[in-house]
Chains A and B, each alone.
Chain A
Amino acid sequence: DVKVTQSSRYLVKRTGEKVFLECVQDMDHENMFWYRQDPGLGLRLIYFSYDVKMKEKGDIPEGYSVSREKKERFSLILESASTNQTSMYLCASSQPAERNHVLTFGAGSRLTVL
């Protein structure tokens, strides 16, 4: 019954490495999101995509990029990982307005940058 799948649950990378975090949803949702979760800060939006090849910056896009080549897949890219990007990354998807903007989340990807 898994609907939003994040391919990596735990990753350990070195400073300067390129990191790809993959997310796939099987609900035919149009909107997809990448959030970052840090203790005491809650969830902060990194990027949002409302259609294939379309993206918008969230609150903290610096140091990140995204790719959405297919409707079901939304990738988060760290071009050159830094230690302050050590965090839990959560992918989510949603339907447009008639679904009350309810987000369905993946299980998360915990990234450690050494």
Chain B
Amino acid sequence: GEDVEQSLFLSVREGDSSVINCTYTDSSSTYLYWYKQEPGAGLQLLTYIFSNMDMKQDQRLTVLLNKKDKHLSLRIADTQTGDSAIYFCARLGDSSYKLIFGSGTRLLVRP
């Protein structure tokens, strides 16, 4: 299957950590991605992880990959109001060019 699933909505308080979760069905995925979409804009790559890695950290962002459970998460430390956006999880499909996206998680950061 090609499903990538995410919860639709997450609300956090400013300064707290946010954790956005994603599950996928195809264990052969080689690359997994997190994209951010701000209002009225296209998608912007946040980070990606290769399937032989368990974790990747980039400043406030931490990506965790559990291949056994086919679970990907994005943790945003010290969440700011500017982090309010839609976050898309995606995986590289079998065709080696096609990215398969989840439905997106809308993150709302409350002051």
Q: Could you tell me which A residues sit within 8 Å of B by CB distance?
A: 4, 31, 35, 40-45, 48, 50, 58, 90, 92, 94, 97, 100-108
Contacts and interface: CB of A to CB of B under 8 A. Distances in A.
Contact of B96 (A43, A97, A102, A105): A97
Interface in B21-35: 31, 33, 35
Contacts of A106: 42
Contact of A42 (B48, B50, B98, B102): B102
A110 B104 CA distance: 18
| Of B35, B92, B97, B99, most A-chain CB atoms within 10 Å | B97
B44 interface: yes
Given A4-B42, A35-B101, A101-B97, 6 more contacts: A58-B98, A94-B97, A103-B35, A103-B45, A106-B42, A108-B42
A75 B92 CA distance: 24
Contacts of A4: 42
A40 B103 contact: yes
A41 B31 contact: no
A90 B102 contact: no
The contact size tier of chain B is 20 to 34
Majority SS at the chain B contact face:
strand
B59 to A, nearest CB: 18
B35 to A, nearest CB: 8
Contacts of A101: 31, 92, 96-97, 99
Given A43-B88, A100-B31, A101-B31, A90 B103 contact: no
Contacts of B99: 101, 103
B55 interface: no
Contacts of B50: 100
Contact of A105 (B4, B42, B103, B104): B42
Interface in B1-43: 4, 8, 31, 33, 35, 40-43
A-B complex: 9 closest residue pairs judged by Cβ atoms: A105-B42, A42-B103, A43-B101, A42-B101, A105-B43, A107-B42, A108-B42, A106-B42, A42-B102
Nearest to B102: A42
Nearest to A96: B97
